[in-house]
Structure 1
Amino acid sequence: MLVTRTNRVLHGARPDVEQVRLAAVNNGNARARAVAIRYRRTRAEHHDAGCRRQFFGRRPLARFNYGAVAGSIHGKVNVATCQQHRQNYRRASCVFHLCAPRQDSLKCTAKRQESFLCRNRERASCCSSGYHSRPLLIATCWQWRPAVLNDLRARIDAHRVTPLQYAVIALCFLLNVLDGMDVLVIAFAAPALAAEWGIGPESLGIVFGMGTFGMVAGAMLLAPLGDRLGRRTLILVSVAAVGISVALTALVTSVAQLLVVRFISGMGIGVLLASSATVAAEYAPDRKRNLVVGFVMAGYTIGAFGSGLIAAQVIPVYGWPTMFVIAGVASLATLPFLIWLLPESLDFLVRVRPRQALPKINRILQRMDMAPLERLPALEAVETPANVPALLHRERRGSTLMLWAAFFMSFAALYFLLSWIPKLAAATGIALELAIYAGAVFNLGAFFGICLQGWLSLTFGLQRTIAAFMFAAAALMLAFGFVTHPWYVLVMFGLIGFTVQGGFVGLYAVAARLYPAELRNTGIGWAIGLGRFGAVVGPIAAGYLIAAGLGLVGNFVVFALPMLLAGVLTLLIRAEQLRI
């Protein structure tokens, strides 16, 4: 059979392209210009599964009109699997077909795939024999054709990273830095504000909760508008709303007014967290997408770290209102740069096709040093509408629910730590001055953990890397209660921040890959929004546990369990559904 005899060729001495071509022709597949090479799917992603390079060598395939790649599909072939490999191989610019049993429970047969996958039906055929225990996807790469070149996603993945893409990533990172500052500025101003107004911790707790509630509302209700109105438009409006509302906080004179401005700013921040992750993922090439999304979301920890340092210098000298003015003006100052540099999402322009979509796409491609399009790419069939119920479509329901649960548990553990770090550090017996610095050490470790997680995921896979970080975080939290030396306590906080945030932020990359373009902002927004209920539950539960007399070791044991479960749930998400 074709695959068996070809394997004997490929598993021996390293073949050249001519040997591979002859092996295909001699085994009765005269139409094929190359045969499939079996490889693990993770390896395919790591090597940018495309026709540009051979997997048995490094020689560019641009000189040839043939070459092939293939992937082993674990388990039974289904519609979702076919959709995932359709995405992978469109990026590879291949005409391909599927070898699978003719009768399948989900009707993902070769005949169906011929209509879904093959760009030229006359050249497509299905092999009738040579099945393995796992269905094998056979890809045949033909000469580059205009229809293939019009595939924007394939072109972005194959092209070098351009200055415009670096600018988009930098702007999204900056937005998250400002978000981190705007979220935590109220926490640093709270002692001075409470002393000036004479309000108690109950009122401050409501103020803190209103900001979180605004972030939930923004992520779940407003972020999905990015799939209809455009990512760029939503980002510009949100930045303006956040900047104005945060700056106006300096002028409020009552708790009621403070609640209003914190809710508005929270809504804007919720939108920006979802939209910035979406835009960064869509402009990053597939080979670097996990790293880019992680780096962008790491900006939040830098903003949290920097706002504490600035507040320590500003509030004692100039008062708490000045800190809000600085944070608000910083957000508004980014608007000119966003208007000038931030383009609309290409995925949105291709999918929604607003007025003058083709000229807008070509202007963006020109800024990316890429050839313009002669026409808009053909739209693919959309099986579900771009709305919230589509997130729970039968093909992705299980993965969506597991992602939501992983976000909820990660948020609960993370905000338990963020809210109680100074008190927990002081409970170990270290000086109050060192306890205050524990939060800064936590966020500094978080930044490096997020970046390392993104880099490691390129080699070891996104889900396994996230799970490893979460399991390590759970182990460190279990061990924390047994550390007594003051400096070791600070080191442990840094390591916990490194692992907890590294694993948590990786979930943003999972959300960005799990949903198609027409659902991406909605999917990320709802995952963040529902997860933030964990941010409310975690600190409250910790407060009750501490009031009930649960010791330091007990608290960390309790909140190590959500991190452990979040890691397990991340591994259970169906890997074949993670796309772009």
Structure 2
Amino acid sequence: MDVLTAIRTSKMGRAQTAAIACAFFALTIDGFDVFVMGFLVPYLPDGFVENDTQRGLLLSAGVFGMAAGALLLAPLADRVGRRRVILTLTSSAALGMLLCGLCADYTQLFVARVFTGLSIGAMAPALTLLVQELSNDRRRTSVFGLFTIAWPVGTLLSGLFSVGLMDRFDDNWRAMFFFGAALGALCALISFFTLPESPEFLLARRPDRFQERLDAVIDKLRLAGVDRLARPAVSEKQADAGGVRGLLGPTTRGPALVVVFLYSVTVFAVYWVTTWTPQIVAEESGSAHAGSVAGTILGLGTVTGAVVFALYSVRFSPFKVHGLVLVLSAASFIGVTLTFQAAGAALVLTALGGLFLQFGIIGFPATVVYLFPVRSRVTVLGAQNFVSRTFGVLAPAAAGALLSFMRPTTLFALAAVPITLASLGGLYLWSRMKRLVPREVPAEGAAVVDAAPARGRTGAQVDKAATDLDPAAG
């Protein structure tokens, strides 16, 4: 059999598992970088930033770079290869964080944050594609669930290490960036030895030394029973490749708008809350340490939300409760505003708000495999990634502007507005999901069966599907 059939139907080996674990580690750097600036703003010396608007712009700088990277640099993975792009971007992300730690003023730090964001924003789509292309059909859903946890794990690490490093280095904000640079360099080194090139990319592009490189991948993955000269008639992803036209049909137009824009509205709420929580708590309590603790608790809530989503999906459809979970998140953040003076209750509600919000945000991209024809899924996910990153740029800056004339704790209650709007999208998507047929995922070693979504049928046991999902986001 050819190499693609072997990957799709064979049991996943240690080399594949190691590569996916390396990709997981790389994606945690995305979450780490998004949160790190929010944790460090309270530690910047007096005069480094002049007002809340500048603070908001500084918080948005990295996210702006991520949006630009997703749009401009990520497509290079389809031209020069997943592995080369990932190695280059992890290295440049490490360099960017090193430069952030060496900055002497606000302008330098703003530019360095944009540069770092460019690398990280392009890295996530390349990682997601490589993980999908190295996973077999039976395990792809499990890999997706684990992969989505990587981002909130990174945010949690950002909070945990900010508390420890600030205590150890006398509140020196540069220590966190140097630590992030070390993480990036370590990730680049591990990736060099662990990540193979995507066989699907090699077969599609036929680059220089094609057969030699394909043989190296087969050897690295230790694929048994592969005819090295066999070629699939056409790759599944090539055959199904398409564009915007597939998203404009009568059955896909509405879901496309919801999946792209209401997911992005949810991302707006995520950045609105997460980037400012440490600063607000630090100002209200008079303790930068308390701000870091609050941000860490929020990060812990988001990690728990991703785990709950993965576990819940094993037995039940997460889409059925998608809208309700987002309503619960909105209610939790309103509760934070109302109970802010009662520290214990506010921290519990912050964690619950993060849990429900992360559960809800994963639900939007997870519907793509069911709601759209295969030839259009990459298109909708690409649009989703770019628009959501753009919304992420706007959120911290908008919140910073509002802080000039309103009480800081009100920002938590205001986050309920976009979250509630997104909950309506969750209800709408569930109304469409009920009419879809799930894919049948074969046992490892069995023939592949792929049932296409169809209207007018029931049974959306969505935990059984193999997905072509891009998580980031967030």
TM-score (norm 2): 0.77
Q: Is the 8 A contact 1:542 1:555 kept in 2?
A: no
Cα shift at 1:242? 0.8
How far, CA to CA, are the matches of 1:511 and 1:345 in structure 2? 23
Alpha-carbon distance in structure 2 between the residues aligned to 1:439 and 1:337: 29
Matches within 5 A, 1:216-231: 216-231=67-82
Distance (Å, rounded) in 1 between the aligned partners of 2:279 and 2:41: 16
Q: Kindly provide the amino acid, as one letter, of the partner of residue 362 in structure 2.
A: V
Asked if 1:563 corresponds to 2:414, the answer is: no
Q: Distance in 2 between matches of 1:220 and 1:337?
A: 26
Query: Corresponding residue for 1:327?
Result: 180
Q: How does 1:64-213 map onto structure 2 within 5 Å?
A: 149-150=1-2, 152-153=4-5, 155-195=6-46, 197=48, 199-213=50-64
Q: Is the 8 A contact 1:405 1:531 kept in 2?
A: yes
CA distance in 2, matches of 1:245, 1:430: 31
Do the aligned partners of residues 474 and 287 (structure 1) sit closer, same or farther apart at CA in structure 2, a change above 3 Å counting?
farther
TM-score when normalising by structure 1: 0.64
- 2:191 aligned residue (321, 324, 338): 338
Distance in 1 separating the partners of 2:17 and 2:183: 21
Residues 1:376 and 2:235 aligned together: no
The CA deviation at 1:341 is 0.9
Matched, 1:536 2:393: yes
Deviation per CA, 1:466-506: give whole Å up to 9, x if none: 55543443454455556574323222222221121122134
Q: How far apart in 1 are the matches of 2:79 and 2:338? A: 52
Query: CA contact under 8 A between 1:423 and 1:435: conserved in structure 2?
Result: yes
Whole-Å Cα distance in 2 between the matches of residues 228 and 204 of structure 1? 37
Equivalent position amino acid for 1:152 in 2: L
> Could you tell me which residue of structure 2 aligns to residue 447 of structure 1?
303
Describe the superposition over 1:190-244 as per-residue Cα deviations: whole angstroms up to 9, x where unpaired: 3443426464443333222221111110112221222232222211111111111
**Range with greater deviation from structure 2 (409-418 or 511-520):** 511-520
The farther-off stretch of 403-412 and 220-229 is: 220-229
Q: CA deviation at 1:409?
A: 1.4
Which structure 2 residue ranges, 5 or more long, are not aligned? 437-451, 454-464, 469-474
Query: Contact 2:100 / 2:112 at 8 angstroms: preserved in 1?
Result: yes
Q: How many Å separate the matches in 1 of 2:15 and 2:418?
A: 42
Q: Which residue of 2 aligns with 1:417?
A: 273
Alpha-carbon contact 2:66-2:118 (below 8 Å) kept: yes
Query: Deviations along 1:43-86, whole A, 9 cap, x unmatched?
Result: xxxxxxxxxxxxxxxxxxxxxxxxxxxxxxxxxxxxxxxxxxxx
CA RMSD of aligned residues (A): 3.7
The 3-state SS of whatever aligns with 2:35 is helix
2:427 maps to a residue whose letter is V
Deviation at 1:521, TM superposition (A): 6.3
Q: 1:408 aligns with which of 264, 267, 270?
A: 264
Q: 1:401 to 1:361 in 2, by over 3 A?
A: farther
Tell me whether 1:279 sits opposite 2:279 in the alignment. no
Is the alpha carbon distance of 1:452 and 1:496 closer, same or farther for their aligned partners in structure 2, counting shifts above 3 Å?
Answer: same
Q: Which residue of structure 2 lines up, in the alignment, with residue 307 of structure 1?
A: 158
SS in 2 for 1:229: coil
Note the C-alpha offset of 1:335. Answer: 1.6
Cα contact 1:165–1:368 (8 A) shared by 2:
no
Q: In the superposition, relative to structure 1, how do residues 548 and 491 fare at CA in structure 2: closer, same or farther (>3 Å)?
A: closer
Write out aligned runs for 1:507-526 (5 A): 507-510=364-367, 523-526=380-383
Q: Which moved more, 1:209-218 or 1:271-280?
A: 271-280
Alpha-carbon distance in structure 2 between the residues aligned to 1:420 and 1:325: 22
Q: Higher relative contact order by CA 8 Å / sep ≥ 6: 1 or 2?
A: 2
The Cα offsets for residues 491-524 of structure 1, whole Å up to 9 and x where unpaired, read as 2222221121122134444457878888776654
Equivalent pair of 1:358/1:376 in contact (CA under 8 Å): no
Q: Distance in 2 between matches of 1:518 and 1:368?
A: 30
Paired residue secondary structure (1:195): coil
Alignment correspondent of 1:105: none
Bigger shift: 331-340 or 528-537?
Answer: 528-537
Indicate if the aligned counterparts of 2:152 and 2:299 stay in contact, CA closer than 8 A. yes
1:236 is aligned to 87
When structure 1 is superposed on structure 2, of 342-351 and 395-404 the one drifting more is 395-404
* Counterpart-to-counterpart distance in 2, 1:245 and 1:223: 17
Give me the whole-angstrom Cα distance separating, in 1, the residues matched to 2:80 and 2:358.
Answer: 31
Match of 1:505 among 362, 375, 384: 362
Deviation, 1:383, is 7.0
Counterparts in 2 of 1:273 and 1:511: CA distance versus 1, 3 Å:
farther
Q: Is this contact kept in 2: 1:315–1:322, CA < 8 A?
A: yes
Inter-partner Cα distance in structure 2 for 1:562 and 1:221: 30
Letter in 2 for 1:287: R
Of structures 1 and 2, the larger Rg is shown by 1
Asked whether the 8 Å contact 1:429–1:486 carries over to 2, the reply is: no
Preserved CA contact (<8 Å) 1:473 1:563:
no
> Structure 1 residues 525 and 265, CA, compared in 2 at 3 Å: closer, same or farther?
farther
Structure 1 counterpart of 2:104, one-letter code:
T
Query: Could you say what secondary structure the match of 2:230 adopts?
Result: coil
Rate the CA distance shift 1:555–1:191 in 2: closer, same or farther, 3 A. Answer: closer
Kindly state the Cα deviation for residue 151 of structure 1 after the two structures are TM-superposed: 7.4
Counterparts of 2:44 and 2:396, CA distance in 1: 22
Query: Any idea what SS the aligned residue of 1:286 has?
Result: coil
Cα separation, 2, equivalents of 1:391 and 1:237: 33
Contact 1:409/1:566 (CA < 8 Å) preserved in 2?
Answer: no
- Tell which deviates more after alignment, 266-275 or 536-545: 536-545
Amino acid paired to 1:348: F
Q: Secondary structure at the match of 2:25?
A: helix
Stretch moving more, 217-226 or 297-306: 297-306
Q: Residues 556 and 514 from structure 1, CA distance in 2 versus in 1: closer, same or farther, beyond 3 angstroms?
A: closer
Unaligned runs of 5+ in 1: 1-148
One-letter amino acid of the counterpart of residue 419, structure 1: T
Partner of 1:250: 101
Alpha-carbon shift at residue 393 of structure 1 (Å): 5.8
CA distance in 1, matches of 2:206, 2:174: 44
8 A contact 1:508–1:524 mirrored in 2: yes
Report the alpha carbon displacement of residue 327 of structure 1 after superposing the two structures with TM: 1.2
1:415 is displaced (CA, Å) by 1.6
